[in-house]
Structure 1
Amino acid sequence: MLEYLGRIGYAAEDLNKLNVVHITGTKGKGSTSAFTDAIIRQAKPGWKVGLYTSPHLVAVRERIRINGTPLSEEDFARYFFEVWDKLEKNDVVDATILEVGVGGTYDSTNIVPKPVVTGISALGIDHVTVLGRTLKEIAWQKGGIYKPGVPALTVDQPAEGMNMLKERATEKGASEFVIISKTPGLREIRLGLSGAHQYQNADLAIHLSRKFLQAQGGLEPKDSLTEYEINGLQSAKWPGRCQTVPDPNQPSITWFLDGAHTLESLDCCMQWFVGPHTALRNETSSRPKRVLIFNCTSGRTGPAFLEAMLGKIAAQLKLHGDDEDAVKFFDDIIFCANVTYMSGNFKGDLANKNTAEADLVQLKTQHELEAAWRSLVPSFGPDRVHVLPSIEHAVDLIRHQESPTIDVLVAGSLHLVGGVIEVAGLSEVAL
């Protein structure tokens, strides 16, 4: 990245002009970024605030947002080709919230020498641990975003991870190492992002934005939540994460979208989906038909994922006083490939090179998921489990269901969620 930056006429120090809030973590780094962006924009409505996140759901332009809006196709194309030749100089940026893509130390975003503040959301065991990494090693990697003379923030972490983060903050020469405290009054606010786990991300965003606004905007932190913080937390959007989207074309269908793809994030997903809204639906109207559309990167992890989801469903139903059997919670299960269209083609922005073509053709992962589900729930009717070759096949099946109301949970993969948004025509209401 440093070499590429030099080739287009910049030094790493030039990136400091972007006034960066650098954020990483295993879970919640994207949500924290969205909250931080929203708070700063509410505090300084006249500022130009950039938000960089990854991956995108439908269009690559979503990764770069200016004042909450993805770059237009025209701007993206223009800037792309200007960068291709030489980056057009633009130092009129008041704030940039920069989400790490993978890890921290070796991530492409980690070339900013002196961000204004850095933060680490919850550490945990994620998909990178297939390489055998321990929590301590993950913390070492994430702590690589800490910088000399820059405040280093983190949420409360497991002891092994916390000790390593402290060591990294000292090693990197951070100006201070802060384990954030809970913000008084925060739990009384209805956040713009659903899910109980979002309150920890919101806490981190509040502390990050306060450090940033004190340094860059002359706003002294308050003991209680300010109006702009409350407005920011309530207005924050983060598509495809615990998101409820009424179908604009078929009112009987409600889409519940969550790109959860680790055991911990799936636990949060089921806590959200099998929550008060489920009990409310059961009390106020006839029970909706419930469908799960699911995929994951490898069928080998499927049994653990599906078993954990069933366990969480049972726990949530019990918590909300619902005597429904967890194995009967979903009426239909769809395991589909992340291929966008029935033709076998991907939308350009959604092309996925991480799955072998032979596996896609044979639907190897999807059949492994089907076998895992049948093993876990032998009583589940054979006509209620569907293995489909594309997302368009899955959406078509949903659209032809005969039921007054249908709740569809889409989970296991951000690529899958993005494909559903594209194929089902949800972009205008979801993004």
Structure 2
Amino acid sequence: MSTETRTYREAVECLNTLQSNAATLEAVRAAGVRLNPNAIPEMIEYLQRIGYEPDHLNQLNVIHITGTKGKGSTSALTDSILRHVKPGWKVGLYTSPHLVAVRERIRINGKPISEEDFAKYFFEVWDRLKANDVRKDPDTTPSMPGYFRYMTLLAYHTFLRLKVDATILEVGIGGHSDSTNIVPKPVVAGVTALGLDHTSVLGKTLSDIAWQKGGIYKEGVPALTVNQPKEGMEVLTERAATLKASEFKVVSLLPGLSSIKLGLAGEHQVQNATLAVEMARIFLSAQGAIPAVTEPLPEAFVRGLENTKWPGRCQTVADPDPAHGSTTWYLDGAHTIESLDYCIQWFVHPGVGIPSASTATSERPLRVLVFNCTNGRSGTSFLGSVLAKTSAQLALYGSTETAEAFFDHAIFCNNVTYADGGFKSDLNSVGMSDADLKHLKTQKELAEAWKELVPAFPGESVHVLASIEDAVKIIRKLSPADRPASVLVTGSLHLVGGTIEVAGLSSVAL
């Protein structure tokens, strides 16, 4: 069958067969997540099977970005700067995960590639892998790469076919062993803020994390980072020296940057913007597009920062349906304790989740928390963090409200898209265990944790639901027509993406 006759839906169905199932993921977690020492050689072998050598990837002119927090936002900021400075360029952006459609992961000039192009390039890669199945070690290397590896190969292939002028590559997990880390010589590499994410429960230390992230530094390539905890900074400094980076630079806040109204909400974005500006400067200078020193910040840089869009991250969306026009959705895929702190810092703020000083007290909105997290993470610590930060924010702004009564309803729902148990094909996940799908194990644990943390919270206001569609239906019923409703959806990007899909927010959110 020719590639032209195969559809986007067929491509997504094939891609979903490459996901790891729940049993496999649980076995990996139980083993303590040991790094695959052959991860990079295997990825190179897959690349060669589709007709490329690693050196070919240097043609993509890569900006490589990793970190615990802010790597996606920094990638989006950098992408926007390049597009505003060089509007005639073709700029590729590769990120993960996606919110609603998998093709969001591969963007050209800020827009996801079309369904037609996705299917075309997808099956070109698929057919090459099927036709060239000679492996150095068939016993240990699967014939087909896993989901993320495949998507990375597809991004490389797409960008090479389209002859992009610049590529921003966001690391998937870690850095050293990540599928994106086979580009021999990026133009610049940057590490965003480090922290103990959910891997820390498996015995990871900040030094371990820094070692992984610093693995994207390359010989002869500028290595950048932001201010880090001492333990992490020491490791990054050592990694840059060991890997022979051309320079190691800790970026500092640029004068005037904090006065720019960034396209991304949240005070933490200033640090991400600082790194994005410096990486863009180095990249554009290396390409001969701008002078090495540009002071003050060029107007095109400012426009790029102001016009950056990154859906599902500290995003405010007014419901486009006139019937629900009093509902405002606050979407943030925060999935670590530190990112949840940033989320609550943004949401519990005058003019966002709490009335501004000029708003009458009687107009306090109905507030709904919609939350989910990956099985195995501690609901008590996650939700405890939400409550503690809420309390701190309320005190900061002199509010008489309490954290315990801040939300009127708490909804804990699965990431299943539809009430009939089905998924939108782009959002299908075989990594969810039967216990979660059938018995809502994680959601019940979250509800119990919430009740323990807030014993006075009305029991009828805690909802354990089987799908995102069920959650949206409940919210529609709860939201009064004569009172504004503020809905915070957080804890999982998959949850945010499903909400955008089911609530009909795509036209305004994406």
Q: Is the TM value for this pair above 0.5?
A: yes
Q: Residue in 1 aligned with 2:232?
A: 161
C-alpha contact (below 8 Å) 1:119/1:204 kept by paired residues: yes
Instruction: Tell me the equivalent position of 2:339.
Output: 265
Q: Name 2:436's counterpart in structure 1.
A: 359
Q: Which residue of 1 aligns with 2:117?
A: 75
Match of 2:57 in 1: 15
Q: Quick one: which amino acid aligns to residue 121 of structure 1?
A: T
Q: Does residue 289 in structure 1 map to residue 289 in structure 2? A: no
Q: Is the 8 A contact 1:192 1:236 kept in 2?
A: yes
Q: Quote the Cα distance in structure 2 between the aligned partners of 1:30 and 1:289.
A: 31
Of the candidates 452, 477, 481, which is equivalent to residue 400 of structure 1? Answer: 477
Amino acid at match of 2:304: G
Query: Are the aligned partners of 2:62 and 2:186 in contact in 1 as well (CA < 8 Å)?
Result: yes
Offset, 1:359: 2.6
- CA displacement at 1:352 relative to structure 2: 2.0
Give the aligned length.
431
| Alignment deviations for residues 17-75 of structure 1 (CA, whole Å, 9 cap, x no partner) | 00000000000000000000000111100000000000001110000010000011111
Work out the CA distance in 2 between the residues paired with 1:160 and 1:402: 47
- The superposition leaves residues 241-272 of structure 1 with CA deviations (integer Å, 9 ceiling, x where unpaired) of 00000111121110000000111000000000
Write the distance in 1 (CA, Å) between the matches of 2:387 and 2:376. Answer: 17
The corresponding residue for 1:298 is 375
CA contact (8 A) 1:299 1:369 kept: no
Q: Could you tell me which residue of structure 1 aligns to residue 206 of structure 2?
A: 135
Match status 1:429 vs 2:501? no
Which of 90, 94, 98 is equivalent to 1:48? 90
Quick check: 1:377 aligned with 2:454?
yes
Q: Deviations over 1:143-170 (max 9, x none)?
A: 1100010000000111111111111111
Give 2:297's aligned residue: 225
Structure 2 segments unaligned to the other structure (5+ residues): 1-42, 129-156
Contact 1:18 1:91 in 2 (8 A): no
**Could you say which residue in structure 2 is the equivalent of 1:255?**
329
Deviation at 1:279, TM superposition (A): 4.2
How far residue 341 of structure 1 moved from its aligned partner, in angstroms, is 0.4
Amino acid at match of 2:259: E
CA contact (8 A) 1:281 1:287 kept: no
**Residue 456 of structure 2 is aligned to residue 413 of structure 1:** no
Correspondence for 1:203 among 274, 284, 292: 274
Q: Does structure 2 conserve the Cα–Cα contact (< 8 Å) formed by 1:299 and 1:364?
A: no
2:306 is the alignment partner of 1:234:
yes
The offset of 1:326, in angstroms, is 1.3
CA distance in 2, matches of 1:402, 1:55: 30
| Alignment pair present for 1:389 and 2:463 | no
- In the aligned structure 2, how far is the partner of 1:99 from the partner of 1:382? 42
Residue 189 of structure 1, aligned match among 260, 269, 272: 260
The answer as to 2:407 corresponding to 1:330 is yes
Which of the residues 301, 315, 320 maps onto 2:397? 320
1:309 deviates by 0.8
Match of 1:280 in 2: 355
C-alpha deviation, 1:402, in angstroms: 4.2
Distance in structure 1 (CA, Å) of the matches to 2:397 and 2:349: 7
Say if 2:223 and 2:247, in contact at 8 Å, map to a contact too.
yes
Amino acid paired to 1:61: R
> Helix, strand or coil: the match of 1:45?
coil
Distance 1:212 1:405 in 2: 45
- Using the TM superposition, give the Cα deviation of residue 91 of structure 1 relative to its aligned residue in structure 2, in angstroms: 6.5
Which secondary structure state, in structure 2, belongs to the residue aligned with residue 407 of structure 1? strand
> How many angstroms apart in 2 are the aligned matches of 1:196 and 1:74?
38
Q: Where in structure 1 are there 5+ consecutive unaligned residues?
A: none
Residue 123, structure 1, aligned to residue 123, structure 2:
no
One-letter amino acid of the structure 2 residue matched with residue 51 of structure 1: L
User: In structure 2, the residue corresponding to 1:177 is in which secondary structure?
Assistant: strand
**1:417 match: secondary structure:** helix
Sequence identity (%)? 64
Q: Secondary structure at the match of 2:418?
A: coil
- Higher mean displacement: 101-110 or 275-284: 275-284
- Match of 1:103, SS state, is coil
- Indicate the SS of the match to 2:317: strand
Counterpart-to-counterpart distance in 2, 1:21 and 1:348: 31
Amino acid at match of 2:54: A
Residues of 1 paired with 2:454 and 2:376: CA distance? 17
Contact 1:299-1:366 at 8 Å conserved across structures: no
Residue 224 of structure 1, CA deviation:
1.8
Q: Which moved more, 1:83-92 or 1:59-68?
A: 83-92
SS in structure 2 opposite 1:400?
helix
1:351-375 per-residue CA deviation (whole Å, 9 max, x = no partner) reads 2233211232111111111111111
* Distance of 1:416 and 1:205 partners within structure 2: 27
Shift of 1:283: 4.0
For residue 335 of structure 1, report the CA deviation from its aligned partner. 0.4
| SS of residue in 1 equivalent to 2:487 | strand
Q: Which amino acid aligns with 1:32?
A: T
TM superposition outliers: structure 1 runs of 4+ over 6 Å: none
Counterpart CA distance in 2 for 1:93 and 1:383 is 54
| Residue identity in the other structure for 2:317 | V
| Residues 192 and 237 in structure 1, CA contact (< 8 A), matched pair in contact too | yes
**Two-structure CA RMSD over aligned residues (Å):** 1.3
Segment of structure 1 superposing worse, 25-34 or 270-279: 270-279
Cα distance in 1, alignment partners of residues 212 and 44 from structure 2: 19
**Contact in 2 for aligned 1:39/1:209 (Cα 8 Å):** yes
Query: Greater shift after overlay, 184-193 or 354-363?
Result: 354-363
C-alpha separation between the residues in 1 aligned to 2:127 and 2:479?
55
Distance 1:66 1:229, change over 3 A: same
- Cα distance in structure 2, aligned partners of 1:266 and 1:41: 30
